Structure 1
Amino acid sequence: MKLSTYLMFDGNCREAFTLYQTVLGGKLTAMMDHRGTPAEAHVSPDWVDKILHACLEIEGQMLMASDAPPDRSDGPMRSVSVSVNVPEIAEAERIFAALSEGATVQMPMAETFWSPRFGMLRDRFGTNWMVGADMPAEQANCG
């Protein structure tokens, strides 16, 4: 079984995923808009260039998304966070700083009892992020 995160944007999925690829790396394996697909007939003309499906593959994991037409959405992400954990503190801080531009920081990057660096934010696209550095193996206790 594989579990993947699927995000719903309100029209800025292309911009968000372009940034996410720059910040997180990986490969955009899909960035398909409605134009020219059977779905084009089911969206308003001003929505045909919005994203029907996007996929960012990072080390065998997938972050997927689309733009949700206003008549089919209760708004962008609600009560969901994408959690990113990396081995190095410097990398966690870099990712957090890059995602912080125009964001609402809910918990600044700091040392916690579970991570040498951890922070939470809602980026300018409405995506909630939890960014952390892995605890060194000699300190980790996953029970």
Structure 2
Amino acid sequence: MPKFNPYLNFDGNAEEAFNFYKSVFGGEFSGGIMRMGEMPDSENITEAEKGLVMHVSLPITGGDVIMASDIMPSAGQKLVVGNNNYICISPESREEADRLFAGLSEGGEVEMPMQDQFWGDYFGSFKDKYGVCWMIDYGVAKEAK
């Protein structure tokens, strides 16, 4: 059974928001805070954007996790209420990731096709035909276990 976790987008204040959430829920960020400047080809983004949050995750009760990133205006991203929330599904296999991606994205708009990512996961994102934003994230490290 896949695991569902909320993924939030922010307009430059993801770190502030997640420090607030951490003060409420407690705990520590999983893997720290990844910055846009850590991405491949980050020399092509502005200095200000290099400090933005690429990814942060905070484990909360019962094994659930809330995750987030900032938008990148230079990549044409604009925060609009509705695209600031994603449902992130973490399936148990690559095959299940592909099946879920193909099924849910049918008739929708693919943002990032399923592919191996530089951070080590097999990942894709899209907006379905109803306007709901989804991420499919299979942790490749699971295959090694």
Determine which structure has the larger helix proportion and give its number.
Answer: 2
